[in-house]
Amino acid sequence: MRRARLPLLALAVWLTAAPAWSQDQPDAAAADRRLRELEDQIKRSQAEHAEIKRKARAISDELGHIRADMVAAARAAQDSEELLSELEHQLEDLKALEGDRAAALQRRSSQMTGVLTALERLAWRPTEALMAQPQTPAETVRSAILLRAAVPQIERSVHDLKDEIDVMSRLRADITNQRQRIGNTALRLDGEHKRLKELWDRKSTLQYAAIAETEASEQRVRQLAGEAQDLRELMQRLEEERQRRILEAAEKAAAEKAARDADLAARKAAREAEIAAQKAARDAEIAAKKADKERKEREMAEARAAREAELRAQAQAREAEIAAQKAARVLENATREAAEAKPMVSEKPIASVQGKMVFPAKGSVVERFGQPNEVGVINKGISIATRKGAQIIATYDGQVAFAGPFRGYGLLLIIDHGEGYHTLLAGMARIDANVGQKLTAGEPVGIMGEDEAKPALYIELRRQGQPVNPLPWLTAQKSKGHG
């Protein structure tokens, strides 16, 4: 009877659950169809995303070529600026030489005018008139001898005067040619600046297009993946949670064992250290009493020196800390941007290129690191006197951490080189770089002003937020600027 009741009981349970099972069947089938549709859409979106990534790589390669062209164009612009400064300096020398020659020629001309006037008066007098002069015959003969001796000297002076006139003519021709060379060089420089502007616009267009398309594709994939929440994902999450708990339990047990072992070792070491300390204390007690007075005096002197050094360091680092914190925040926001291109990292760490970083501008150093400036404040960087509208380039590979106006700096550009090193450039009239942009050494980043009487670029190099002298890091250049 018990065997007969068991199948009947199972049948009753099945009949009781059958309506619920039949009711859930359409919902499960619809969810399964929706899941398959989402999976198909995800596959298609992933294929589209892969194609966009391929396009992004192609755009990245093109940006690399554009960046190389921009570096070459910036180098050509700076070479033209340097040549233009040298030509203008030569023109000033030629003008000064022309002034000296003109003054000498004027003096010689005045002298010759007096002599020729005297000779002209003598030429108008006949020979017989000399006999009627109120002087002795000896004086008359002496005058004739002096006149005869003066004529060759006058002829030589006339010849020298002619040579001076020829030299003046050549100088004026050289000045005309120099002005022509300056005009041609200026036209070439203007063309190079226009080419840089075109390359910059092309680079910005490609970057914005690549970033926008990549972000849109990634957003579509994320949306579709977010909708694909089903039983398999739930089970996977439960399994991951179980594994995590197992791992946490194992780590906790290992940590507790390590803590016990460490506690035993610490007690043993403490006991041994206590015994050694007691022995050392007994041995050092006599010497400590003798040296106590000297130690106190030394500690007081060291404390005073440390306090003075701390006050100086706080005064010097306060401004740097504020700027570094703001730059760090800007850099942190920039790193969150979802760009497909890989970060550009230099093959060589910055610490290995000391003395090889390029100067950001052509010109002469007018303010040096550690020296007081016009208002008595100690310089934390250097200043370079440049030409009007001079091209500014990146000193080394890095990423733009900040670009824009900042307090007393005016337009400020901060480049993060990694390893805690940053370059600060200020004094530009225009910045050609955006936050988060990757830069290579020599890539153009800005232009100096055209309206300033004496434009100067301010440069700081900071390590872990503290300013260091940038000159030993920059490669030696033959500066031809005059500031």
Domain ranges of the chain: 47-227, 231-336, 350-473
pLDDT of residue 327: 59
**Which position has the token pair 């929440």?**
229
Q: Helix (H, G, I), strand (E, B), or coil: what is residue 307?
A: helix
Residues ≥6 apart with Cβ < 8 Å to 200? 70, 432, 444
Mean pLDDT along residues 459-477: 90
Residue 369, φ and ψ in degrees, nearest 5: -65, 135
Whether the CB-CB separation of 396 and 355 falls below 8 Å is answered with no
pLDDT of residue 65: 80
Segment 444-455, tens digit of pLDDT: 999 999 888 889
For residue 2, how many C-alpha atoms fall within 13 Å in the half-sphere facing its CB?
0
Q: What CATH homologous superfamily does 350-473 map to? A: Glucose Permease (Domain IIA) (2.70.70.10)
pLDDT over 60 (residue 344): no
Q: Helix (H, G, I), strand (E, B), or coil: what is residue 457?
A: strand
Q: Which of 118-122, 149-153, 280-284, 311-315 has the highest mean pLDDT?
A: 280-284
pLDDT of residue 311: 85
Lowest mean pLDDT among 7-21, 348-362, 408-422: 7-21
pLDDT over 90 (residue 473): yes
Residue 63, φ and ψ in degrees, nearest 5: -65, -35
pLDDT over 70 (residue 139): no
| Whole-structure pTM value | 0.49
Residue 416, φ and ψ in degrees, nearest 5: -90, 115
Mean pLDDT along residues 429-441: 93
Q: What is the mean pLDDT of the chain?
A: 78
pLDDT over 50 (residue 384): yes
Rounded CA-CA distance 27/12 in Å is: 25
Segment 165-206, tens digit of pLDDT: 888 888 888 888 888 888 888 888 888 888 888 888 887 787
Residue 42, φ and ψ in degrees, nearest 5: -60, -45
pLDDT over 90 (residue 468): yes
- The residue among 211 and 333 whose pLDDT is bigger is 211
Would you put residue 442 in left (φ > 0), alpha (ψ -120 to 50) or beta?
left
Helix (H) or strand (E) holding 451: none
The tokens of 420 are what?
A: 């805690």
Q: How many residues does the chain have?
A: 483
For the domain with range 47-227, which CATH number is right: 1.10.3710, 1.10.3210, 1.10.287, 1.20.120? 1.10.287
Rounded CA-CA distance 301/164 in Å is: 75
pLDDT of residue 483: 36
CB-based burial, 91-107: b 16+ in 10 Å, e otherwise = beebeeebeebeeeeee
Whether the CB-CB separation of 53 and 215 falls below 8 Å is answered with no
Mean pLDDT along residues 326-354: 58
Rounded CA-CA distance 234/452 in Å is: 67
Q: Helix (H, G, I), strand (E, B), or coil: what is residue 444?
A: strand
pLDDT of residue 13: 46
pLDDT of residue 336: 52
Whether the CB-CB separation of 367 and 382 falls below 8 Å is answered with yes
Lowest mean pLDDT among 127-131, 271-275, 420-424: 127-131
Burial label for 11, CB within 10 Å (0-12, 13-18, 19+), is exposed
Rounded CA-CA distance 437/168 in Å is: 56
